[in-house]
A and B are shown apart, each in its own frame.
Chain A
Amino acid sequence: MASAASSTSQRGQVDLVDFVDWSGVECLNQSGSHAIANALKQGYRDDDGLHLASDSDEQLLIYIPFTQMIKLHSIVIKGPEEEGPKTVKLFSNKEHMGFSNVGDYPPSDTVVLSDEQLKGLPIILKYVKFQNVRSLTIFVEDNQGGDDVTTVHKIALFGTTVDTTNMKDLKKIEDH
């Protein structure tokens, strides 16, 4: 697990950025100039000059629909030490949540980010809870420093698709 630092980390796990339905991606309480695309999109997320920042307060609610059913294995959240997220709750298949009903459902998983995880260490999730995921909601409850603004540099999701196991991808892993 320590060796798994780059994109296709675990066996068979793929970067799910290709399966994100971009027309439905929403982020509540994001600041206008620092939008969700800066943290999610290929190219933007690796650019350290671009990041996602919160607006009115430190909470963020990110809704990510997918183009097909996926199984979510792990997640990478990169952020600065002080303003990076601390408590992150993940909800699977809950459409259009608002800040008022984050407390209504139990999250599928909760993560409290450590410093290494903020630097890019993948966070292994409860795989059994994310078997048939059509949409993912990420609720950032607070940040490390307790300030008003939460900053996120990168969010990457890893897993597999349900319908197809892409043989090409498998072959790529076995090369390592």
Chain B
Amino acid sequence: MVLEATMICLDNSEWMRNGDYSPNRFQAQCDAVNLICGAKTQSNPENTVGVMTMAGKGVRVLVTPTSDLGKILACMHGLEIGGESNLTAAIQVAQLALKHRQNKRQQQRIIVFVGSPIKYDKKILESLGKKLKKNNVALDIVDFGESDDGKPEKLESMVSAVNNSDSSHIVHIPPGQNALSDVLISTPIFTGEEGGSGFAAAAAAAAATAGSMGGFDFGVDPNVDPELALALRVSMEEERARQEAAAKKAAEEASTKEKGDAGASGSTDAIMTEADKGAQDDEAALLQQALAMSMDDAKPMSDISTTDPDLALALQMSVEAAKEDSGSQSDMNKVLGDQSFVSSILSSLPGVDPNDPSVKSLLDSLQPEQEKKEDKSDKSEEK
């Protein structure tokens, strides 16, 4: 969001006729310029951008720094290729144009597209860079097209002369499949220093994944709509986790119930075995969960047992000991014995119909077990 005035220097020399960047070097430049202008004005509405040419009839300012995007795009029409690029004069003219910007609070920046070979000395370029630095002007260089005679080194030295705390950058783009603008999007020239505006990031994502939309989960591009993608992903994970937990819990409870509660859990064992048969059925699994939850002392065990088997074993042993000591009817039996309570729980469960035959048979099994249990205890008391 830095307030900035930018001058873009286009290379429209004869070397730009070459087609190693599609469709030709000059068109690639124009596309890149359009994107840069858009990004700059989006990141801060008060930013201004100006455009000038370095070759042709001579160094010429096409449009002075303005925030009007239409004006900038219009001036790029009808540009002719020809002549030789004059880098030093162009940078000096750009500096002058920036000096006379309307809003003096804007930071000054020059973006240069260097596509033709450089005929200047390294020294001259360095002194030019120092002058820019002295006047607090940042410089970005896009090195593409011709690459010979130590052009990259000259440009690198120039940028390091200008550079003041990483405000100036240089990018080397070799010819290849990708368009010039696509490669530029991911560079700091486009994204600026703070790591990018929303426009830049979105454009980068769109361009980079143009061919692989289907690769995203749920067909939603996380960059385009991050909240939606996140919500979808989270709900999928939740659903999966819930199903896993349900299945796991049923299995765990079955195993823990069998291991523990040996003392007074004859009835529960019976229920468990009955439930095991029905456990394949989803409704029975839900039933198991409900029963487990209504059992006070069983509940903490099952919760813990899912996490730590050793701890579960210790708990079970302590529970068993307690149960044997008490020697009385356990609470869970009482709870289970309360037919009305159980049926009320069942009816409140979603997807469980109390009139369902399997459920009914289960309930019936509760009753006789309960009676058997009472008989047993009576007999033991009598003894």
Contact = CB atoms under 8 A, between A and B. Distances in A.
Given A28-B136, A98-B135, A99-B135, A56 B99 contact: no
Contacts of B136: 28-29
A101 to B, nearest CB: 9
B133 interface: yes
Nearest to A54: B134
A99 B99 contact: no
A143 to B, nearest CB: 15
A109 interface: no
A95 B134 CA distance: 18
Contact of B165 (A29, A32, A56): A32
Given A32-B164, A32-B165, A100 B133 contact: no
Decide if the interface of chain A is mainly helix, strand, loop or mixed.
loop
Nearest to B127: A56
Nearest to B161: A56
A13 to B, nearest CB: 31
A55 interface: yes
B134 A99 contact: yes
Given A32-B164, A98-B99, A100-B99, A56 B104 contact: no
A100 B136 CA distance: 13
Interface string B161-176: 0001100000000000
B133 A95 contact: no
Contacts of A95: 104
Contacts of B104: 95-96
A59 B99 CA distance: 19
A96 B164 CA distance: 20
B130 interface: yes
Range of interface residues on A (Cβ < 8 Å): 10 to 19
B99 A57 contact: no
Contacts of A96: 104
Contacts of A28: 134-136
Range of interface residues on B (Cβ < 8 Å): 10 to 19
Contacts of A56: 130-131, 133-134
Given A95-B104, A96-B104, A55 B134 contact: yes
Nearest to B129: A56
A44 to B, nearest CB: 20
Contacts of B135: 28, 98-100
Given A95-B104, A96-B104, A29 B99 contact: no
Contacts of B99: 98, 100
A95 B99 CA distance: 12
Contacts of B165: 32
Interface string B309-325: 00000000000000000
Interface string B110-146: 0000000000000000000011011110000000000
Given A55-B134, A56-B133, A98-B99, 19 more contacts: A28-B135, A28-B136, A29-B133, A29-B134, A29-B136, A32-B164, A32-B165, A55-B133, A55-B164, A56-B130, A56-B134, A57-B130, A57-B134, A59-B134, A96-B104, A98-B135, A99-B134, A100-B99, A100-B135
The 5 residue pairs across chains A and B that have the minimum distance between CB atoms: A56-B130, A56-B134, A29-B134, A96-B104, A56-B133
